[in-house]
């Protein structure tokens, strides 16, 4: 009896699944490149008019607090497609040195939709830092379209708009003089940290024009859906792929780098799957880790346990649930040839930023960034001493931690970390962020070159097996947050550790303490001369240079001559550029003959040499 029943039961189940697939909503993601929410008047009174995106909001939901977890495309887009924090799964570096495998049990979410009967199309940008795997897209090309799906087949379509990309602001002085903008430059409102010059005004006005072009392109895509009779069966998401694009946005964990516009058009037919009526503004926090899980949940599919995000639309998701979400975690690591290590936690109105290498400065050279005239002019004005105190911050060493009240200081220029009135908030957010970094665990506590050699065949497994050690490294790094007298004994203990990465981080801590740590100069000199780990010797030389106690050139040159890793060479060169362009202005003699022939032509090594040769 049971055997005879198998085929009819299977056919019944198959028929039901087809009916359910045909009755599932479609999804469209319209993704603009490199723009934060600040450029749209819909989100910011100083932004450009976007009537078509505004109409979407009237027919759906506007999310007032939507965040990319990273302020650059490859890391942000990998987070979108996986639902996972990049520093946990090894995808945090832009762009990838190694394309890493996904954690066990995880697929890019369009593959899951496809397996459930969806037609998946991408037009066209991917830019993942993880191995894509099989069966993610039915089509991914400049011509990809939902129109080639099967009859009645639900679909997910992702479309990227390049019109707002950073490269649109790579114009010449001649172009600026000859090409007028539709937006009047005198009408735009500059951020207080930007110098008020014709270059900055023209750049912002030109970008407002680009935002208006974006709005037209979004409207055209909506028109295609409507003409195909699909608009009222489709959730349409519009959002930026991360923040940007004027200086101090893309590549930085300030709000301009992470806070993105998000509007979701909700079909009336599917209103019951939205947590609020159409036309509502939703104040709850959502992040890119949540976007993939949201689509799976809307499609009636289970969300894998391995992801970090939670759905913010779909059956059982209430407005009360969404509005209780008030945290967003951000991270910034390597951007092309420029290294940094910064983490942020926004909780409600307050934003906490932890700079793990605070002797660094935001304006450190990145060749691609400085192709923008506004970037180059800003640095030149800094050299000439023509900037205000707020405008100079971009070219000065940072505090190891910063606290901003975004209601009174939306531009994040007034650091409240030393204000006794906010001491309790500082301690709370410091603890929360430290716990977050430890719990991931955050792989960036190891240098990228070490991860390439030891972790990137299975990053998440490596992180879990080294979770205790990463937690210890976080504690050593956080010694720079204590008064030196309180941290001194632990610093001395870590300098004698058998673990090279404990020595690595405690030397960074010494650099962060500055003059207060001068008693460790002798220990650092010994480490710089003879430590077994090349990058530990580098950090010792860096500390001695920050102290003004020794010329770091010999140690750096020896490290560059001996390394066979282009990733490690790039990190060493980052320190060289920092010390050359920083306050002490060390002079270095360097050319390609210093490098082993196997890494001489590596992309980021060549970029640094190009800059250093000027």
The count of other CB atoms within 10 Å of the CB of residue 461 is 13
Percent of the chain topping pLDDT 90:
96
pLDDT range class, residue 20, cuts 50, 70, 90? very low
Q: Is 84 a catalytic residue?
A: no
Q: Average model confidence (pLDDT) for the chain?
A: 95
- pLDDT (tens digit per residue) in 220-231: 999 999 999 999
Distance of CA 305 to the CA centre of its chain: 23
pLDDT range class, residue 309, cuts 50, 70, 90? very high
Please give the Cα distance from 270 to 267 (Å, whole number). Answer: 5
What does the pLDDT read at residue 201?
Answer: 98
What does the pLDDT read at residue 15?
Answer: 33
Q: What is the dihedral of CA 56, 57, 60, 64, to 10 degrees?
A: 140
For the domain 9-326, what is the CATH superfamily, name and number? Alkaline Phosphatase, subunit A (3.40.720.10)
pLDDT range class, residue 16, cuts 50, 70, 90? very low
What does the pLDDT read at residue 21?
Answer: 44
Please answer whether residues 293 and 18 qualify as being in contact, where contact means their C-beta atoms are separated by less than 8 angstroms: no
Average pLDDT over residues 350-363: 97
Please give the Cα distance from 287 to 501 (Å, whole number). Answer: 31
What does the pLDDT read at residue 3?
Answer: 31
pLDDT range class, residue 510, cuts 50, 70, 90? very high
Asked whether the predicted pLDDT for residue 608 surpasses 80, the reply is yes
What does the pLDDT read at residue 1?
Answer: 28
What does the pLDDT read at residue 223?
Answer: 98
Asked whether the predicted pLDDT for residue 384 surpasses 90, the reply is yes
Please give the Cα distance from 294 to 162 (Å, whole number). Answer: 25
What does the pLDDT read at residue 244?
Answer: 96
pLDDT range class, residue 583, cuts 50, 70, 90? confident
Asked whether the predicted pLDDT for residue 6 surpasses 70, the reply is no
Q: Please, where in the chain does CATH 1.25.10 lie?
A: 441-612
The count of other CB atoms within 10 Å of the CB of residue 403 is 23
In terms of phi and psi (left: phi > 0; alpha: psi -120 to 50; beta: otherwise), the region of 507 is alpha
- pLDDT (tens digit per residue) in 120-148: 999 999 999 999 999 999 999 999 999 99
Strand pairing of 342-347 and 327-332? antiparallel
Please answer whether residues 206 and 403 qualify as being in contact, where contact means their C-beta atoms are separated by less than 8 angstroms: no
What does the pLDDT read at residue 2?
Answer: 29
Question: Angle, nearest 10°, between helix axes 534-547 and 521-530?
Answer: 140
Question: 9, 73, 84, 510: which one is catalytic?
Answer: 73
Q: Quick one: which H or E segment has residue 269? A: none
Q: Please, where in the chain does CATH 3.40.720.10 lie?
A: 9-326
pLDDT range class, residue 584, cuts 50, 70, 90? confident
Residue range 441-612, CATH number:
1.25.10
Asked whether the predicted pLDDT for residue 232 surpasses 70, the reply is yes
What does the pLDDT read at residue 33?
Answer: 98
Average pLDDT over residues 41-52: 98
Average pLDDT over residues 517-544: 98
Asked whether the predicted pLDDT for residue 82 surpasses 50, the reply is yes
Asked whether the predicted pLDDT for residue 558 surpasses 60, the reply is yes
């Amino acid at each position: 009896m049971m055997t005879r029943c198998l085929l009819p039961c299977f056919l019944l189940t198959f028929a039901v699944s087809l009916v359910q697939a045909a009755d599932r909503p479609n999804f469209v993601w319209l993704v603009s490149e490199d723009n934060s929410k600040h450029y749209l008047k819909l989100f910011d009174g100083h932004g450009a008019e976007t009537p078509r995106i505004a109409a979407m909001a009237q027919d759906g939901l506007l999310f007032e607090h939507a965040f990319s977890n990273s302020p650059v495309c490859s890391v942000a887009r990998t987070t979108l497609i996986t639902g996972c924090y990049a520093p946990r799964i090894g995808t945090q570096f832009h762009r990838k040195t190694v394309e890493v495998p996904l954690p066990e049990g995880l697929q890019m979410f369009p593959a899951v939709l496809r397996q459930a009967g969806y037609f998946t199309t991408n037009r066209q940008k991917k830019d993942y830092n993880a191995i894509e795997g099989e069966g993610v897209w039915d089509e991914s090309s400049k011509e990809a379209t939902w129109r080639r799906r099967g009859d009645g087949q639900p679909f997910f379509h992702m479309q990227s708009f390049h019109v707002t990309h950073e490269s649109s602001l790579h114009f010449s002085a001649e172009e600026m003089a000859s090409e007028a903008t539709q937006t009047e430059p005198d009408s735009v409102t500059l951020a207080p940290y930007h110098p008020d010059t014709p270059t900055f005004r023209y750049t912002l006005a030109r970008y407002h024009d680009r935002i208006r072009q974006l709005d037209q392109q979004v409207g055209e895509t909506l028109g295609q859906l409507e003409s195909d009779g699909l608009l009222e069966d489709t959730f349409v998401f519009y959002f930026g792929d991360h923040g940007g694009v004027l200086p101090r946005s893309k590549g930085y964990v300030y709000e301009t780098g992470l806070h993105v516009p998000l509007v979701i058009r909700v079909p009336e037919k599917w209103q019951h799957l939205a947590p609020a009526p159409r036309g509502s503004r939703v104040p709850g926090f959502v992040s890119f880790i949540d976007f993939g899980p949201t689509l799976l949940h809307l499609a009636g599919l289970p969300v894998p346990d391995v992801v970090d995000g939670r759905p913010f639309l779909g059956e059982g998701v209430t407005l009360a649930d969404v509005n209780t979400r008030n945290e967003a975690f951000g991270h910034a690591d390597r951007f092309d040839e420029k290294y940094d290590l910064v983490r942020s936690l926004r909780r409600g109105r307050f934003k906490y930023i932890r700079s793990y290498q605070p002797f660094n400065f935001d304006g450190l050279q990145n060749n691609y960034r400085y192709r923008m005239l506004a970037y180059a002019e800003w640095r030149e004005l800094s050299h000439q001493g023509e900037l205000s105190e707020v405008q100079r911050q971009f070219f000065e060493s940072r505090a190891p931690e910063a606290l901003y009240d975004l209601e009174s200081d939306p531009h994040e220029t007034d650091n409240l970390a030393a204000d006794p009135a906010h001491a309790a908030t500082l301690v709370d957010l410091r603890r929360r962020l430290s716990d977050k970094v430890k719990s991931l665990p955050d792989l960036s506590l190891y240098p990228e070159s070490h991860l390439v050699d030891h972790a990137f065949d299975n990053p998440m497994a490596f992180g879990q097996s080294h979770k205790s050690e990463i937690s210890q490294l976080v504690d050593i790094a956080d010694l720079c947050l204590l008064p030196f007298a309180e941290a001194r004994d632990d610093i001395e203990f870590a300098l004698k550790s058998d673990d090279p990465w404990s020595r690595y981080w405690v030397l960074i801590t010494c650099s962060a303490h500055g003059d207060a740590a001068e008693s460790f100069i002798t220990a650092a000199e010994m480490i710089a001369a003879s430590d077994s780990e090349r990058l530990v010797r580098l950090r010792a030389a860096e500390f001695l240079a920050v102290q003004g106690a020794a010329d770091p050139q010999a140690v750096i040159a020896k490290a560059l001559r001996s390394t066979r890793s282009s990733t490690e060479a790039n990190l060493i060169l980052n320190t060289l550029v920092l010390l050359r362009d920083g306050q002490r202005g060390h002079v270095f003699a360097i050319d390609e003959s210093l490098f082993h022939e196997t890494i001489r032509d590596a992309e980021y090594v060549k970029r640094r040499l190009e800059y250093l040769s000027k």
